[in-house]
Structure 1
Amino acid sequence: MKRILGLLAIVLFMNACDDGELTVDTINFDDVQVQKCSQKEILYKISDSKMLILAIPFDNFENDETPENNPTEVNITGNIQVIYRQYSAAPTSANICDLVTAATPNVIEEWNATSGTIQITSTAIKSVNSTTGITQITGYRHYIVFKNITFLKPDGSTQAYLGEDTFVFGNYNATVSPLAFGFDEEANKSTCNNDNRIFNFNSSEAFILDLADFATLFADEVTTTPRTALISATNKVNYRLYSGTINNAYFCTTPVPATPILTQNWIANNGVAAEGSGIIEVTTTSSSPGFFQHTIRLKKVTMTKGNSDFYLGDDYLYGTIITP
């Protein structure tokens, strides 16, 4: 009887090891940080003698937030690869990132993903100035999940994560250069095309106001209380970043010059009177006989590009202009 029970236990054990689940090699990198190669478009994780590799063009990681519950989806195919490796000893970045990869330790087993979808959920990483309340976007956190992924093993068998089963790769944090906002307090009134434009620019960045309410806001009369207008479709505020240096003539050239190229355009959200947000405020003083100085402030303004935004603070000094 004992012999029969022993044989039965062996049979049950062997069947349990052949049910399509991972047995000896379990892919588990849950507590491991995602790392990035500096010379290749590769993300990877290392756990003891194992490595999980995602080779993917980095232009799949946009510098923008993804809408809620609507991640970016990329198919595993062609130049987008997911690879699991086990080495003879603990590997390092030299085994995957160097242009000529290290020969040791040796790869003793490799699984290659043959199908599946990569889901990328992106959120902005922001810093907040505790004094002014101004926020800056310093990077984007890309949360990466594999859906319906199937690995091909060296023996020709497969390991699949299908249906609701997800395979979490982890967070890849990409840094971006914060917008400089390196403007001085002296702004400029456009002198071309009789438009109602005010702009402040420095090197490759410009901060532009296009104001239908220009005549009211900048009346040549000393104010006792500030004049205000809500940001709207006719009172526009834009921050623009270019690929090269711009100058005063750029804003008067028609058509718009082909270079430098506009690389970012942030648009101020419309103002809401009930919330006291999105307000353009102008205070006018006498500068010298016959001249008036107008000080422009932006109150509780949020700038948006795509799905990303940042806050200019409760009270941002845009600059001053002088009119005769």
Structure 2
Amino acid sequence: MKKYACLLVFALLLNGCDDGDLTVDTIDFDDPTIASQTCNTLTNSLIYRLKSQESLLIQLPDNKIINDVTLPGAPVTYDIDNNLYRVVYRAYNGKVETANICGSIPPTSPSVTEEWQAKSGKIVINTAQIEVTDETTGSSKVTGYNHNIVFNNITFAKPSGIDQVNAEFDFGNFTTTVTPVVVDFSAQTAQYCPDQNKVYIENTTSSLVLESLSDNIIENVDTPTGQPRESLINLNSLNNKLYYRTYAGVLPVNASTYFCTNQTPASPAILDTWFGKDGQANVSGIIQVTTTSSLKVFKHTIVLKKATLQKGNTTFKLGDNFVLGTVTVVVP
């Protein structure tokens, strides 16, 4: 009987010491099912991951999560300074929720029982685009970005007064979404500026333009059946530059006054510019022109084969056969 009484007292002592506090020796957020979240998808200034009674937070100035692809060996890096660039780990005495992180008036429970502040180190971000491809047309859309975040040589100041140093600490992946660029001029007609050697198509708020065309690409001579004239998109040469642009305002009703000039007007202002990547013979970025005629009226149908548009390091494909349009030239 005395033996059982001792065991009961021991159990009561254990229960009396358990107040829900979490004792932490190391930070472990390796579980890939723990999603990274943000309090504001517009600024991404606070990114966090939550476990049952733990949180790991990154605080950044606004818009430091950059929606563009990083090149191999060239990540985006920020120095942790515990001021503008902060990394904080917290343990709680109960289940932690998003409201504990993002609420304008945080709940009073659970309360923080332990906090580690990062004193130094680097936030290293490698970013890849999330791309969806149409298997029928070969075109693609960028729907978002995956940002892989790692801390290098991070030093945490622990409440015990003993610093903890991690040469490499994987925070995990953080995903952002973007509105895909959709190049669609299906209801418009391509136009030709012979003096500028330019073909364009527009829908009042965006345009796709082939500038400085090769002299032999549009000729008023019928092409043999199945044998279109060919050239390559080439941004860095004098000829065949491809641009997709969006505008802050509306293009003029008579768009030729905007496009068929030697100097592009300042209004409407250009919002974004995507350029055509250089083509490779028989592979990609190919310009094909098929010409037919009747009674001195020549029709030139322009197709872009496997063309890719790029802004920064982000790219998307126009498709296997993107019809820029047909331009009509009447010979006197």
Q: TM-score, normalised by structure 1?
A: 0.83
Which one-letter code corresponds to 2:61 in the other structure? Answer: P
Which one-letter code corresponds to 2:213 in the other structure? Answer: A
Q: Distance in 1 between matches of 2:183 and 2:246?
A: 10
SS of residue paired to 1:59: coil
Moved more, 111-120 or 53-62: 53-62
**Corresponding position: 1:45 with 2:49:** yes
Answer yes or no: is the 8 Å Cα contact 2:208–2:244 preserved in 1.
yes
Which one-letter code corresponds to 2:309 in the other structure? Answer: M
Alignment of 1:83-98 (within 5 A): 83-98=88-103
**Corresponding position: 1:285 with 2:275:** no
Q: Distance in 2 between matches of 1:113 and 1:256?
A: 51
Alignment of 1:37-76 (within 5 A): 37-38=39-40, 41-76=45-80
Q: CA RMSD in A?
A: 2.2
Change (3 A) 1:61 1:262: farther
Moved more, 311-320 or 135-144: 311-320
The alpha-carbon deviation at position 313 of structure 1 amounts to 2.3
The alpha-carbon deviation at position 97 of structure 1 amounts to 1.4
Answer yes or no: is the 8 Å Cα contact 2:55–2:90 preserved in 1.
yes
**Corresponding position: 1:189 with 2:196:** no
The alpha-carbon deviation at position 198 of structure 1 amounts to 1.3
Q: Which residue of 1 aligns with 2:3?
A: none
Picking from 177, 180, 201, the partner of 1:178 is 180
Q: Distance in 2 between matches of 1:244 and 1:104?
A: 50
Alignment of 1:78-117 (within 5 A): 78-117=83-122
SS of residue paired to 2:63: helix
Deviations 1:105-134 (A, max 9, x none): 211221111111000001111001010111
Change (3 A) 1:276 1:155: closer
The alpha-carbon deviation at position 178 of structure 1 amounts to 0.9
Which one-letter code corresponds to 2:57 in the other structure? Answer: I
The alpha-carbon deviation at position 307 of structure 1 amounts to 2.2
Q: Which residue of 2 aligns with 1:272?
A: 280
Q: Which residue of 2 aligns with 1:29?
A: 29
Deviations 1:138-197 (A, max 9, x none): 111110000111112234332221xxx211011111111111212135112237xx2111
Deviations 1:47-87 (A, max 9, x none): 11100011113522222211112211111123221111111
Q: Distance in 1 between matches of 2:249 and 2:95?
A: 46
Moved more, 181-190 or 124-133: 181-190
The alpha-carbon deviation at position 303 of structure 1 amounts to 2.1
Answer yes or no: is the 8 Å Cα contact 2:232–2:287 preserved in 1.
yes
Q: Which residue of 1 aligns with 2:310?
A: 304
SS of residue paired to 1:311: strand
Q: Which residue of 1 aligns with 2:20?
A: none
Q: Distance in 1 between matches of 2:269 and 2:110?
A: 47
The alpha-carbon deviation at position 103 of structure 1 amounts to 2.6
Q: Distance in 2 between matches of 1:199 and 1:229?
A: 17
**Corresponding position: 1:206 with 2:207:** yes
Which one-letter code corresponds to 1:66 in the other structure? Answer: T
Q: Which residue of 2 aligns with 1:5?
A: none
Change (3 A) 1:301 1:119: same
Picking from 316, 327, 332, the partner of 1:321 is 327
SS of residue paired to 2:99: helix
Moved more, 23-32 or 118-127: 23-32
Answer yes or no: is the 8 Å Cα contact 2:196–2:260 preserved in 1.
no
Answer yes or no: is the 8 Å Cα contact 2:196–2:261 preserved in 1.
no
The alpha-carbon deviation at position 254 of structure 1 amounts to 7.4
Deviations 1:211-266 (A, max 9, x none): 3325x222223322312112222111111233343342443577645554434322
Alignment of 1:149-164 (within 5 A): 149-161=154-166
Unaligned runs of 5+ in 2: 1-22
Q: Distance in 2 between matches of 1:255 and 1:226?
A: 31
Answer yes or no: is the 8 Å Cα contact 2:146–2:173 preserved in 1.
yes
Q: Distance in 2 between matches of 1:284 and 1:47?
A: 65
Aligned length: 294
Q: Distance in 2 between matches of 1:117 and 1:260?
A: 42
Q: Which residue of 2 aligns with 1:3?
A: none
Answer yes or no: is the 8 Å Cα contact 2:141–2:182 preserved in 1.
no
Unaligned runs of 5+ in 1: 1-22
Q: Which residue of 2 aligns with 1:18?
A: none
Q: Distance in 2 between matches of 1:128 and 1:317?
A: 18
Change (3 A) 1:143 1:311: same
Q: Which residue of 2 aligns with 1:122?
A: 127
